[in-house]
Amino acid sequence: MREGCTAVSWICKATHMEGHVPVILTIGSAPVWPCRVKAILIRRIRYASPSMTNGIQSDCANPVPMVDSFGRPVSSLRLSVTQRCDLACDHCHHEGQTPSVNEMTPLEIESLVKVASSLGVRSVKITGGEPLMRDDIVDIIARVSPLVKEVSLTTNGSDLDIRSEELRRAGLARVNVSLHTLDANRYHRLCGVYQSARVLKGIIAAVEAGLNPVKVNMVVFKGENDGEIHEMMDFCSSVRASLQLIEYETDRESLNGGSFAKRFYSLAGTENMLASQSVHVAVNELHRRKRYKIPVKDGFVNVEVVRPMHNTEFCSHCTRLRMSSDGLLKPCLLDQAGHVDVLTPLRSGASDRELRELFLEAVKNRKPYWS
Ligand code: SAM
């Protein structure tokens, strides 16, 4: 099988460099992209406002959607479940969280997602830290998945080779796996450990388990991995994953700082190259991102480009609210203002109605970071 052979050779290369014995895996069926959110739903929530929920009975079956003061509907939740991580990436933004060891229990997460769902949140992306560090991650996914249309996960892939199947059975629909390089030594420099071969196996296991799509997240750094983009496209095509190229991101205060200024690589030129080579372009609803279908050595690969830096268009289409692992609602990754604590009130016995008011307060605090 062509894809299997190619994938195995990638793993052999990486395992050889890390001094491990390679394991041979096969590839499952081709990805089917999930349905896009219907335009009619987007229209409906665009004209709602936060005040609509005052006094209105709202539950998961009859959600009253949230819209911020800039007319942006809030339909997705990025949910951090831990700050613990088994890697030490030299560029990590830690999802904008300040250090905390306080973690929500699966039941608390379920209760808060239920409230979010009653306010029109339709998708949940689970993140961290490293979410697979939580022993109860399967329980968390099983509790959250019935409450929303889609649960996805972003992971460094350390454990995906052994956990993909149980995660999918619990209701996980798709997964993003961080892999910034195929070179074992460069991986070690960027992430602090030698484990890229394990991540490659995890990506293949996720595809095999039927998670769909499996997206490889590659943050691109100037003079480090910017020469690996084509090789990464070939790899993703060979394992039937898609590729998400991400600009190195930071806040305004750190823009001119040594490390960021030195390592930032604008993906504008890359996106132009992809646009000129693509045989098909689709548009992702979140952030109106384009998805390019690119012919590569052995077939095609879908590539998205995430360019948040100084991008007013990116912010103007943002539909996302964030919740930290210690229960703070956060209006934006980069903005440290406007946080609203929902965990302390939940633990003190706040009603769903009171919790809904706190969600609306956080949504009122949302403003485009790049405007
Ligand atoms: N540990 C999980 C992982 O590796 O996917 C989840 C947390 S990680 C913070 C989520 C995503 O953010 C990863 O794809 C990571 O590469 C990306 N990321 C982290 N710091 C970043 C930065 N400064 N700029 C752009 N992306 C970043």
| Nearest one of 359, 320, 315, 316 to 124, comparing CA atoms | 320
- Which residues does 233 contact at the CB level (< 8 Å), separation at least 6? 243, 294, 296, 301, 303
Residue ranges lining ligand 1, Cβ < 6 Å: 85, 91-93, 95, 127-128, 130, 154-156, 178, 217, 219, 246, 248-250
DSSP-derived secondary structure letter, 243:
E
* Boundaries of every domain in the chain: 2-29+59-364
Q: Which two tokens stand for residue 277?
A: 């080579």
* Residue whose CA lies nearest to ligand 1 atom number 19: 92
The torsion angle over the Cα atoms of residues 155, 158, 163 and 169, rounded to 10 degrees, is 10
Calpha distance 168→145 (Å, rounded): 10
DSSP strand E in 84-122: where? none
Whether the pTM exceeds 0.85: the reply is: yes
Ligand 1 atom nearest 177 alpha carbon: 5
What tokens appear for 250 in the block? 């930071």
CA 93–ligand 1 middle distance (angstroms): 7
Q: Phi first, then psi: give them for residue 192, nearest 5 degrees.
A: 85, -5
Best residue for ligand 1 mutational test, from 156, 178, 266 (most atoms within 8 Å of Cβ): 178
Rounded to the nearest angstrom, the distance between the alpha carbon of 261 and the centre of ligand 1 is 18
Distance CA 119, CA 113 (A): 10
Task: Check residue 65 and give its pLDDT.
Answer: 84
Residue nearest to atom 14 of ligand 1 (CA): 178
- Give backbone dihedrals phi and psi of 60, rounded to 5 degrees, phi first: -60, -35
Architecture label for domain 2-29+59-364: Alpha-Beta Barrel (3.20)
The two beta strands, 73-74 and 66-67, are: antiparallel
**Probe target for ligand 1 pocket from 83, 92, 306, with the most ligand atoms within 8 Å of CB:** 92
Q: Give residue for tokens 């987007």.
A: 42
User: What distance in Å separates the CA atoms of residue 85 and residue 286, rounded to the nearest whole number?
Assistant: 27
- Bridge-based pairing state of the strands 340-341 and 328-330: antiparallel
The whole-angstrom separation of Cα 344 and Cα 104 is: 10
Res 288: pLDDT: 79
Residue of the nearest CA to atom 15 in ligand 1? 178
For 151-185, letters b (16+ CB in 10 Å) and e give bbbbbbbbbbbebbeebbebbbbbbbbbbbbbbbe
Using the atom order of ligand 1, give the atom closest to the CA of residue 176: 5
Instruction: From the CA of 217, give the closest atom in ligand 1.
Output: 14
Nearest atom within ligand 1 for CA of residue 94: 9
Q: Rounded to an integer, what distance in angstroms lies between the CA atom of residue 203 and that of residue 365?
A: 37
Smallest CA-to-CA distance from 215 within 143, 306, 351 is with 306
Report which of 370, 357, 364, 371 is spatially closest to residue 321, judged by C-alpha positions: 364
Q: Whose CA is closest to 178, among 111, 81, 126, 246? A: 246
Indicate the SS3 state at residue 250.
coil
- Which of 334, 341, 366 minimizes the C-alpha distance to 96? 334
User: In tens digits, what is the pLDDT along the chain, a chain of 371 residues?
Assistant: 344 445 666 665 665 555 544 333 333 333 322 332 223 233 333 333 333 444 445 676 777 789 999 999 999 999 999 999 999 999 999 999 988 899 999 999 999 999 999 999 999 999 999 999 999 999 999 999 999 999 999 999 999 999 999 999 999 999 999 999 999 999 999 999 999 999 999 999 999 999 999 999 999 999 999 999 999 999 999 999 999 999 999 999 889 878 899 999 999 999 999 999 999 999 987 677 899 999 999 899 999 999 999 999 899 999 999 999 999 999 999 999 999 999 999 999 999 999 999 999 999 999 999 98
| DSSP symbol at 366 | -
Q: What are the DSSP calls for 55-101, one per residue?
A: T----SSS---EE-TTS-EE-EEEEE--S--S---TT--GGGPPP--
Say how many Å lie between the CA of residue 128 and the centre of ligand 1: 9
Pocket test for ligand 1, best of 94, 126, 127, 224 (most atoms within 8 A of CB): 127
Please tell me the distance between residue 149's alpha carbon and the centre of ligand 1 in angstroms.
Answer: 24
Distances (CA, A) of 226 to 74, 151, 221, 245, 304: 34, 31, 6, 10, 15
